[in-house]
A and B are shown apart, each in its own frame.
Chain A
Amino acid sequence: MVCYQNYFYLPSYNSSIFHTCSFILNSKAINMSFARYKKKIEEGDTIILYLGYENMHAVTMKRGQTFQTKYGAMRHADVIGMDYGSKVQCPKGYLYVLQPTPDLWTQNLPHRTQILYATDISIVTMQLDLKPGSVVVESGTGSGSLSHSIIRTIAPTGHLHTFEFHQQRAEKAREEFWEHGLKEYVTVAHRDVCQDGFDLENIADAVFLDLPRPWEAMSSAKTAMKVTGGRLCSFSPCIEQVQRSCEYLRDLGFEEVTTMECLLRNFDVRTVNLPIVDMGPTGHPSKEDTSQNTDLKQEVTEQTTSQVKKLKSGNRDSTSQRELKNVPPCFDLIGKKESESFFFKTGITPTNMPGHTGFLTFATLYPS
């Protein structure tokens, strides 16, 4: 039978190169709320308090502690033992307790660095062909935003080797993975891969680089990749970095070098009430009167008429006739038209949105 993927990966690195695990998590309970779905909240779990859209907090449960929300204090002890997804009544309002997903974690994690957000993370995961069993090399670890998503996708049979040149950050990340019950899927190393390389050979299905000078790590990244080939991704905010990275990748024998950018546009669903202008009774030939209308109303009129046209074309009945007779409003998919206004639901785009995060460069290494 064809074996679909490498289920049994045994780390074959030389452990001495890794920063030794110096800290001990003494009495801290290790929660599994990240590793698998579970029903009840236990002490030690990191949970997400949902107060409203983009108003969330990640809190680790510990008896005796309270957490202050805008709805008042919430005692951890009251929440422990509850089902995930429950509604919690606070003095001045209610909130929901959610189980963290890598997505929610990305929205709520403590920032130690600039992080990768959900949109880019999803592209990276897909474009690197990640799945359970994949072995991934990542640098730098940063705040562990992408790392959590990688682990989610490659567990339980894959492994993430993540490298961070900032010692405290590396330790903090390691501590977090431990606390989140992800220890067995990840190896955190404190190391400057640009200077010292990854010191890994033929183990990786995919490599992710988020470095100021990614090209300095590319040759070593190539060595880290499996002989059967793999995918590489480099995330860079600046086009000059991309330019140089692509050159290096091609020189190293990587193929299918592709650079892309992905943005997410959110829609706010609203009901809009657009006034319909009074253009006076019909039959008056004076065109000059209308052209004198130079205020804002003019603009609205144009919009409205185009909307009405849309409505008309979409409706079998003549809307204008109904309007004249002042018959009850008609409905259709686009909106609801009354004598003085046009109501419709629409997805409104934000006036401001992130216009750029970084360029994602992907490349394939084929078996030589």
Chain B
Amino acid sequence: MASDTSAAGSIPDNLSTQHIIKEGDQVILKKGKNIKVFQIKKRRQVWLEKAKFTLDGTIGHPYGTTFEVKNGKMIKVEKSILPEKEALAEGGKDNRDLLDQDSNQKLTRDDIEKMKKDGIKGKEIIDQLIENSSTFQSKTVFAQAKWIKKKKIKHLLEFTILKPSARLLCEMHHTKNPSRICFMRVDSLAQILSRGNVRAHSTVAVVDTCMGLVVGAVMERLGGFGKVIHFHQGITPVRPAMDSFDFPAEILNNLYSYPLDRVNSIESDQTKPDISSGTKSSNGAACVEKSPGEISSQSFTEKLEDVSTPSQETGEDTSAQGDTAKSVDMSTPSQETTSNVENTEDGADDINSQEIPGCSENMEIEEEDKPVKTDMEQRKRKGIDRETNRQLREQKIQEARDVILEKNIDCLIVACKFHPTPIVLALLKYVAPSRPIVVFGQYKEPILDCYEYLRKDGGMVNYRVSEAWLREYQVMEMRTHPVISMSGGGGYLLTATTVAKSDTPK
């Protein structure tokens, strides 16, 4: 692309374009544990850490570069060679003479705000804070370091720009919206992928209501080789987490989608029962066909808006179509997930309310300022007759169905908010023998239930129910200990290996 070379002149020659931040890219902004995904768009304001700024300044720099927010712009931070070895030479002996008083700090909140407004660097603000602290010098060296670290988190607006990955996206969603990814911790996702033996040249069936996070992670591991079938809720799959991966078309081409409410009719599904719902959807945004190539160019927020529409229609379908009701009834009887229709809407609201104030504004900007990459294609598509879209979608579903009916799936992953037992029992027959299945759940009991049913049903060996435990450590000179707060649970897993069907004692 032409824009790659234009911006920063400091790019080493041996960097290929994939390592350079470009307009239209989905990028991760990382500041310590705070991770957020944005799409790079020129002149577009983003809100993060109580600051409003544009990402224009990052374009042309390599991924992994750190920027500081200054006057609403991103300015590259030149890293010193010896970063954290501070001049912490002098310090007090202990804290016996320290008193907790507001007067310890002579700078007021307003002073700090003013400095920020004047565009003074975070580092200088911290130096000012040290200078104006009456107690800093008498703190112990370790306490000084801790104090500076805290102030840095508070006042330094430095973000590192990274390429999205399964690891970072899982961490991000787990911190921000764990309920939307069934409280799947990053180590659980790691287990799912390993135990499922997800690798290139395999066909993986994924039942995912975790915003497409698992689908995305699987696609990352397939790297464009093999196939992924996403069993999804509603008429069209909604996978904002997968879209953040920013997969190129050649990887997205391997993604198939199949609606969960048509699982029971996989074998008989020649009559295209979608006709009624297809006509229904013509009144909303949901009718815009989300073919894989197109979906990636849309923004996170934009898609979330769409979430509510198709799910409402799922509700309508329930009345129109008898067998859809089953999938709706499967929702977990918990407070958070009373009914799947409501839940999806709640979730969408959740996100919207969590989006900081500038959110709506962003979207307006977006409306005028369309993404560059697949912009033309998208506009063209939107213009296409809705009926054609519906047919296209139907054709895609039939393609997915063909893959399923080969009964040669290499791995079945169930990671959803529904009760797993009926899903696993329905899909197990499409998995080839001697292949792993992985069932993930937020709660232990449904996983145990699934285990018991599968044991009874036979056809598998090497069952295991497990839970992972993850603890982080702070490692510093004389200050090494486990991190004070840790996650209480990252979900439960059931894994097993299929065996030849003829041996199924049933």
Contacts and interface: CB of A to CB of B under 8 A. Distances in A.
A260 B472 contact: yes
Contacts of A93: none
A125 B480 contact: no
A101 B197 contact: yes
Given A37-B410, A86-B500, A103-B195, A227 B15 contact: yes
B66 A121 contact: no
A131 interface: yes
B62 A367 contact: yes
A96 interface: yes
B477 interface: yes
B74 to A, nearest CB: 16
Given A83-B433, A87-B503, A125-B194, A262 B200 contact: no
A264 B467 CA distance: 6
A118 B194 contact: yes
Interface stretch (A1-9, A60-68, A70-78): A1-9
A118 B476 CA distance: 29
Interface in A122-139: 122-123, 125-127, 129, 131-133
Greatest chain A CB density within 10 A among B62, B63, B249, B473 is at B473
Interface in B142-187: 160, 165-167, 186-187
B101 interface: no
Interface stretch (B256-264, B283-291, B302-310, B456-464): B456-464
A208 B240 CA distance: 32
Contacts of A102: 194, 197
A269 interface: yes
A247 B25 CA distance: 35
B173 to A, nearest CB: 15
Contact of B469 (A87, A239, A265): A265
Given A85-B500, A132-B225, A122 B187 contact: yes
B382 interface: no
Given A53-B463, A126-B190, A259-B472, A152 B62 contact: no
B436 interface: yes
Q: Find the residue from B65, B191, B477 having the highest chain A CB count within 10 A.
A: B191
Interface stretch (B119-127, B130-138, B346-354, B444-452): B444-452
Contact of B462 (A53, A261, A347, A368): A53
Interface string B194-214: 110101111000000000000
Nearest to A152: B199
Contacts of A198: none
Nearest to A82: B500
A247 B480 CA distance: 12
A261 B187 contact: no
A127 B165 CA distance: 10
A251 B477 CA distance: 13
Q: Per DSSP, are chain A's interface residues mostly helix, strand or loop, or mixed?
A: mixed
Contact of A267 (B66, B466, B469, B475): B466
A131 B14 contact: no
Contact of A50 (B193, B197, B461): B461
A228 B251 contact: no
A347 B432 CA distance: 29
B190 A125 contact: yes
Contact of A269 (B186, B220, B448, B477): B448
Nearest to A228: B19
Contact of A266 (B199, B465, B470): B465
Interface in A265-281: 265-267, 269
Nearest to B433: A85
A257 B471 CA distance: 14
Interface in A208-238: 227-229
A120 to B, nearest CB: 10
B223 A133 contact: yes
B469 A228 contact: no
Interface residues of B, number: 81
Contacts of B498: 85
Interface in A32-80: 36-37, 39, 50, 53
Contact of A258 (B445, B461, B472): B472
Given A87-B503, A126-B193, A250-B84, A243 B465 contact: no
A3 B17 contact: yes
Given A250-B83, A366-B66, A157 B223 contact: yes
Contact of A261 (B17, B62, B193, B471): B471
A153 B221 contact: yes
A1 B195 contact: no
Contacts of A129: 165-167
B222 interface: yes
Contact of B248 (A2, A125, A359): A2
Interface string B408-452: 001000000000000000000000111110000000110010011
Given A119-B468, A239-B480, A260-B471, A227 B14 contact: yes
A263 interface: yes
Contacts of A101: 197, 436
Contacts of B444: 267, 347
Contact of A123 (B66, B190, B222): B190
Nearest to B64: A366
A247 B476 CA distance: 8
Nearest to B476: A246
A123 B187 CA distance: 6
A153 B410 CA distance: 15
Contacts of B18: 2-6
Interface string A324-368: 000000000100000000000111000000000001010010111
B280 to A, nearest CB: 36
A134 B498 CA distance: 30
B371 interface: no
B270 to A, nearest CB: 28
A206 B344 CA distance: 38
Contacts of A118: 194-195
A157 B223 CA distance: 9
Contacts of B397: none
Interface centre among A99, A122, A368 (most CB of B within 10 A): A122
Given A251-B82, A259-B472, 4 more contacts: A3-B248, A261-B473, A265-B469, A266-B466
13 contacts: A50-B497, A86-B433, A98-B434, A126-B189, A132-B199, A246-B475, A246-B476, A262-B468, A264-B469, A265-B467, A266-B464, A366-B66, A366-B160
Give the 3 A-B CB pairs with smallest separation, nearest first.
Answer: A85-B433, A132-B223, A85-B434
Interface of B: 12, 14-19, 22, 25, 62-66, 79, 81-84, 160, 165-167, 186-187, 189-191, 193-195, 197, 199-202, 220-225, 246-251, 410, 432-436, 444-445, 448, 451-452, 461-473, 475-477, 480, 497-500, 503
